[in-house]
Structures are given as structure tokens and as C-alpha cells.
Amino acid sequence: MQTTISKHAFFNLSHVSPLVFLYLLRECYAYGTCKASVKFRALQQQLYLVFLNNSQAGPATLMAHCIYLLPIFESYCDGFCHLVLSALRRFLKVGNNGGDVLKAKVCAAKLFLDIIGGSLIHEEGVQIKIVQVFDVNLSDIDKVMCDLSVKRNPKADTAKEVIQQYVSKLIELQSYMTAVDLLTHFSIRQSGESFLLKMMECRQWKAAEKWATYMGKPTLCLLVQEYVGQKLLKPAYDVIKKNNLRQEFPELYHQGKESSLKKLAEKGVWEIAEARANGDRQLLEYLVYLAMEAGYFEKVEELCDRYSLKGFLNFKEPEPNLLHQRYLNLQELFIEDVFWIDEVNSLRDAICYLEECKVVGIDCEWKPNYEKGRSSKVSIMQIASEKKVYIFDLIKLYEDVPGVLDECLARILHSPSILKLGYNFQCDVKQLAHSYGELKCFKHFDMLLDIQNVFKEPRGGLSGLAEKILGTGLNKTRRNSNWEQRPLSHYQLEYAALDAAVLLHIFRHVGSHSQPAGAPDGHAKIEWKSHIVSHMDSLKMPRKDTKTGEEPDGGTDRPGG
């Protein structure tokens, strides 16, 4: 397509009439076989280069004349208008032909007058782009009205009056954004309050905010009040934050900040929530209350110590019976011991014990990374039996004894006689292979059963499944905590152990939930389908992760668990 353009008269704009230019442009567009958006970008880039190579040939004036002719191209009209104007906008930022620009401004001013006068038909978006790209101002329009002896309306002797009359028509038609764009471009101010209220009544929020920003602080304050009156607190807070109206609306500002902190806390991104509090004592105290509500008691202690927050000490630990009513705990799952494995002897002992088990639950955790396209190394792997959970410090073991770690974990992960239970374990498999690509133990896995595939829970993830099957969910507050810190807190260790141990208890219910309810025994056996995967190669894993729940923006879909 680009080659076709350069072969035609686009190569030298000084020998091209506007009509020929447009016919060639249409032929180039029709010749292309790509999607419309791809063809648009390719032609836009090529036109920009053509303008650069023909800056002395008057490309701005040529484009103004082309816009006059584009209505005869019917279905191509609007698209080509935006195409040539967008390419011209880029060129004018670097072009230096002052004579061409001045001539084009006059042509564009007449073009705009003809459009709003009705003698030339172009959509409103094109009207706005014309005055913006050619930087048409009121004096340009006044000059055209004088030089061309435009017949004047007795009520509109100046360019400003012409614009105001046209804006009034737009307001009647409820084309508020176009009206606002014209008023702000030509720096025309009118009754800010009445105009704003009309837009608010029609729920034209974007136009109302642009107009209020143009008019200044009094109109912005009115906009916030109207938002509050309509119970639109989120946009009210956004306006306050964007326009530095904190002193005018201190309570609304804090309510908005608290709402933002609450959403971050619900996602488990406490570090970001703390940073957003920005040292504000009232917000930090609110964050402490959120941590208390979530049962994240080490975060309560951490925030209180770091910011010298008083009065919370008596609330650090909940009553055990209340906590147990809310979430599952290790005692309810009959777990007797949780072992931290970070050196070679305990590693060998753990593997010897696990080799005697027929079924184990496996899970991994890694530090969340909120930078798009990057991910953290898996920090720990939990392997649970009926009564014990082993938590392997993969980072330290890999640094100290990579060969022993590889050989030991392969005895479990590659064993065809040990069934490994996971929840959306393909996510963990991919992350393990990415983190420790040199280890053979993570190259493939034998005898896997993904609990998620059996139950197909649409919501709630592992916690929701545990609540449905076992009657009590998991506390996922620490899902996004820092799994690379050492030592891990007591609560992190309990969280990690629970995620692996709960899989075995859910597994006991697989049979009853994987068969059709109320079906005869014979029919049930026919319909039953096994989800056990005898062999899974990490190198052939699908790239897209399917872990449920909210995830931070990063290289993985969840930070573990």
C-alpha cells in the first residue's frame, strides 16, 4: 500500500490537484487488504512522510482544499477527513513553512464558516478538528468575513457572535461536547452555571467536567456539589483530586481516599494502599481498621509501630473462637506440624516422609509484581500430607544446594505413584519453570489433579470452593504479601500451609461432586470423567493463566495461593 502511494503523484505534491490527491488516496485505501484500523495507521504514517518531503509545496493549504471536496466521496468522507487532519497535525508540529500555514488558516476559517452555515456538510468531529489542527482563531474568521464580503446577520456582526449563535443551536440539539470544544477553543465564556446544569441534567459528565475546568474553581465546586447531590461520589472525588480542591471539600476528599484504600485492601495490595495514604494519619488509621477487619494482625502491628499509632494495641489479636468462625484454621484440618525447610538435612528428611504418601497437596507463593510484563521468582513451595505441611524455601535452597533441591523435588514431582493435588496448578507450573529454568524437577510433573477442573467454581477461587465444600472459607488477606521477606510471619506460614492442606480435604469430596446428582449407579459410572493428568510438560503449558480472583498488573495472574 505504501509503495503504491510513492509510485503515484503523492511523491511530488506541487503537481497534484486536490481532486487527484483524493482519488489516489481512495485507490490506495481500497487496494489494501488489512483491517480498516491498520490501513488507517499505515496511510496516516505515509501521508505524514509525504508532507515532510513536500513541506515547500504547501501541504496544509492542499489539505484544506481537499476537505472542501471530500463530501463528493460520500462513504469515505468522514474517515478521510480524520485521516488527512491527523497526519497534518503531526506535520504541523515540526513543519516550518509559515506562508503555507497562514494561507491554510484563512482557507480553514472559510471552510469552518461554510460548514456551520450549512453550505458544506461535515460531521461535528471534523468541525472541531479543523479549527484545532489549523489553529483557527476569531481574528481569522473576522478576516474572512471582511475579505470575502460575507453577508452578515444583523445579530451577528463579529466572529464571536457567529460562534455564539452556532453554539446556541448545538445546545438546543444537546450536542454539548461540540459546544464546549468550540467555546474553549475560541476562549468564549458564557453563563457557566446555567450551561453546566443543562449538561448535568442530560448526564453529559465529560462535557460538564471539561466546561467546569475551563471556567475555573467556582464552576468546578458547583460541579462537585451537583455530583454529590446525585450521589456520584467517585466522579466527585476525581474532580477534587484532579483540580486540587481538597481544602474546599476536605470530607469528600477523605471519603474518596478511604474508598480507594478500601478497594486496594480488598485486593490485598496493602503496600500500595499504604503508599497511597501518603503519611496522612487519618488515612493510616483507617487502613489499620481495614487490616483489623480482614484479620491481618501483623499488618496492624506493623502500621502502628511504623507510624506510632496509639490506641490499637488491645485489638491486635482477635478472640480465637471468633476467628475460627470466620476462616478455616490448621487445627480444623487436623494438621499437627508445619515445617520450614531451608537446609539440606531437613530437605532430605521431608522428601523421605513425603515419598511414603499416596496423595499430597501442592501450592506455591511468590511476591506480587505490579510492573506490567515482569514477574517475581517463586519464593516457597508448600507440600501437605494428611497431618504435616512442609514449606520449602526455594530461594535459599536454590542458592545453597541447587543440585540436591533438584534431585529431591524430582522424587516427588516426577513420581507416578504420588497423586499431586493443586488448584489451577498450571499457573504454578509455568511460574516455577520461569523462575528455575535450570532445574529438571520443574520440567515436567506426573500424576496431577487440578481441583479447579473438577469443581469448576465460577467465583471465589480456592476460598470460595472451601466454603462451599467444607463450610468455611480461607483468609486470603495475605495473598499479596511479601513472600521474599525472611523470616515469614506466623500468619504467612499459616496461610501458606492452609492453601496446600485444604486441597486434601476438598479432594475427599471429589467423588460426590463429580457424579451427576440423583443418577443411578450405572449411569453415574458412565458419565463420570477423570481429571487426573498422568504427565504434564511445563514447556507445553498454555501462556494464558486462568487463576480466578483479582490480580495485580504483572507478569503473572496471581502472586501465589
Contact at 8 Å (CB) between 491 and 439? no
Q: How confident is the model over 378-391, as a mean pLDDT?
A: 97
Element (H, E) at 366: strand 359-366
**How far is the C-alpha of 403 from the C-alpha of 222, rounded, in Å?**
68
Tell me which of 50-59, 374-383, 395-404 is least confident.
Answer: 50-59
Tell me which of 17-31, 223-237, 355-369, 455-469 is least confident.
Answer: 455-469
Mean pLDDT of the chain: 85
pLDDT band at 25 (very low <50, low <70, confident <90, very high): confident
Q: What is the pLDDT of residue 122?
A: 93
pLDDT band at 527 (very low <50, low <70, confident <90, very high): low
527-531 long-range Cβ contacts below 8 angstroms, 24+ apart = 531/449, 531/450, 531/453, 531/454
Q: What is the pLDDT of residue 105?
A: 93
Q: How confident is the model over 301-313, as a mean pLDDT?
A: 84
Whether residue 557 has pLDDT greater than 60? no
Q: Where are the alpha helices (DSSP H) in 414-486?
A: 425-435, 451-455, 461-470
pLDDT in tens, 331-365: 899 999 999 999 999 999 999 999 999 999 999 99
Contact at 8 Å (CB) between 355 and 377? no
Q: What is the pLDDT of residue 218?
A: 93
**How far is the C-alpha of 157 from the C-alpha of 382, rounded, in Å?**
81
Q: 497 or 474: which carries more pLDDT confidence?
A: 497
pLDDT in tens, 104-138: 999 999 999 999 988 999 999 999 999 999 999 99
Whether residue 524 has pLDDT greater than 50? no
Contact at 8 Å (CB) between 504 and 330? no
Q: Write the Ramachandran bin of 406: left for phi over 0, alpha for psi from -120 to 50, otherwise beta.
A: alpha
pLDDT in tens, 137-193: 999 999 998 876 555 454 567 999 999 999 999 999 999 999 999 999 999 987 668
Q: What is the pLDDT of residue 378?
A: 96
pLDDT band at 525 (very low <50, low <70, confident <90, very high): very low
Nearest Cα residue to 186 out of 211, 153, 160, 216:
160
pLDDT in tens, 261-295: 988 888 888 889 999 999 999 899 888 888 877 77
Q: What is the pLDDT of residue 11?
A: 64
Q: How confident is the model over 549-555, as a mean pLDDT?
A: 38
Q: What is the pLDDT of residue 190?
A: 72
Q: How confident is the model over 40-67, as a mean pLDDT?
A: 90
pLDDT band at 227 (very low <50, low <70, confident <90, very high): very high
Whether residue 514 has pLDDT greater than 90? no
Q: How confident is the model over 299-314, as a mean pLDDT?
A: 82
**How far is the C-alpha of 493 from the C-alpha of 363, rounded, in Å?**
12
Q: Where are the alpha helices (DSSP H) in 118-216?
A: 124-133, 138-147, 159-172, 176-185, 192-201, 205-215
Q: What is the pLDDT of residue 491?
A: 86
pTM of the model: 0.61
